[in-house]
Structure 1
Amino acid sequence: MEGVYPLCNFLQKGTLRIFGDWKVTGAENVPPTGPLVIVANHMSNMDPSLLAVSISRRIRFLAKDGLFKLRVAEWFLRSYGAFPVNREGVDVSAYRWTLDQIKSGGVIVLFPEGTRNHGRLIQAKSGVANLVMRTKAPILPVGITGTERLGSIFRVLNPTGRIRVNIGEPFSLPDIEGKPGKDVMESMMTMVMHKITDLLPEEYHGVYTRASD
């Protein structure tokens, strides 16, 4: 149902304005058209919906498959733009779905850490670099602060406190000839994560804290 996405965003904006102190900076950095991969730090179940109301374009994202067990939950999540992913191993169907979304000019949100952190960045997975290198899609970094206090999915109804979404400028990964090795992939992911840390206060940097921080 196409109406689920705008309705949920309307309601989410309402709760953020009533209960929280929500502010978006850098909205002008979002490309109006074309494929796009959004990368962000991840601290709460409400991060996808927060990005949905903060980004001017329709987004889609991956969600852990356990959330899709109930039929009504599966219907809602798919209608909202989510696709199930098994985080225990390599999920080929989720990977192909993500590639298809990007190749068709869509906007995909990826959380490089692969799971929620507790307010400080943790080690990222290499999947984001692999996807981007295959599609050549531009990357839009986003830094989120304030949602670490909103762990429960039900906090989407009561998102209190200071919440900030800081949108950076799009960038691209350098072209690599041949199949990149592990060291190259790790270097690419470090580049991606540093783009995110540039948008976050120092206390959120975690394992990506640099000597100059």
Structure 2
Amino acid sequence: MNLYKFGKFVMKTWLKPKYKVQAIGLENIPKSGPVIICSNHISNFDPPIVGITCPRDIHFLAKEELFKNKFFGYILKNVHAFPIKRGMKDRNALRRGLEVLKEGNVLGLFPEGTRSKTGELKKGLAGAGFFALRSDAAIIPCAIIGDYSKKKPLTVSYGKPINMTSLKEKKASAQEVTDVIMEEIRKIKENH
């Protein structure tokens, strides 16, 4: 058993009952080929929560600071996470993300770039749009609904793939594409 599968098993055993995690819309995630999952961000537990509900392995971008601790950095690298420098264009992280997609894998992004302390959606950063425009990946909006309070179930809802055809045809900017993705996440939250 590799570290990703072991970590997923441990997280699922611990987090699923603790927060009564339920997933809906799993049929919207393609079984093969490149996929970008874009989720809202409300807690440090969001990456493992999305990771345990998604049927495919996810490669997450994670803030560079998390890799400074050698032990934790080793674990992150072995569960497919890779670092990104926040607040600036990180060409290495962008290149690595495109490689993940080119290899037909799943890239996990939190377009807001940081957690929302209120649970309200913040404006997404252009990075999600960058990856969407420069790949042939299916773009899956995802909403984590709940507040990790243990009182109510925490729901991870995966939406239908976003049709990128018209956005690519009109040569939309990366920010415009991210805005469309964030709007789809908002709709999933509101319709839950």
AA of the residue aligned to 1:18: P
Q: 1:83, 1:94 within 8 Å by CA — same for their partners in 2? A: yes
Change (3 A) 1:149 1:21: closer
TM-score (norm 2): 0.90
Q: CA deviation at 1:41?
A: 0.2
Identical pairs, percent: 32
Unaligned residue ranges in structure 1 (runs of 5+)? 151-159, 205-213
Change (3 A) 1:176 1:16: closer
1:163 aligned to 2:154?
yes
1:126 aligned to 2:126?
yes
| 1:28-64 alpha-carbon deviations (Å, 9 max, x no partner) | 1111000000011011111111111101001111111
| Matching residue of 1:176 | 168
Rg larger in 1 or in 2?
1
The total of aligned residue pairs comes to: 189
Q: CA deviation at 1:178?
A: 8.5
| Matching residue of 1:58 | 57
2:176 to 160, 179, 187: 187
Change (3 A) 1:200 1:90: same
| Matching residue of 1:156 | none
Matches within 5 A, 1:122-161: 122-146=122-146, 148-149=147-148, 160-161=150-151
AA of the residue aligned to 1:49: P
SS of the aligned residue for 1:21 comes to coil
| 1:96-122 alpha-carbon deviations (Å, 9 max, x no partner) | 000000111010011111111120001
SS of the aligned residue for 1:200 comes to helix
SS of the aligned residue for 1:108 comes to strand
CA distance in 1, matches of 2:170, 2:140: 25
Q: State the 4+ residue runs in structure 1 displaced beyond 4 angstroms.
A: 177-180
Q: CA deviation at 1:177?
A: 5.4
| Matching residue of 1:211 | none
TM-score (norm 1): 0.82
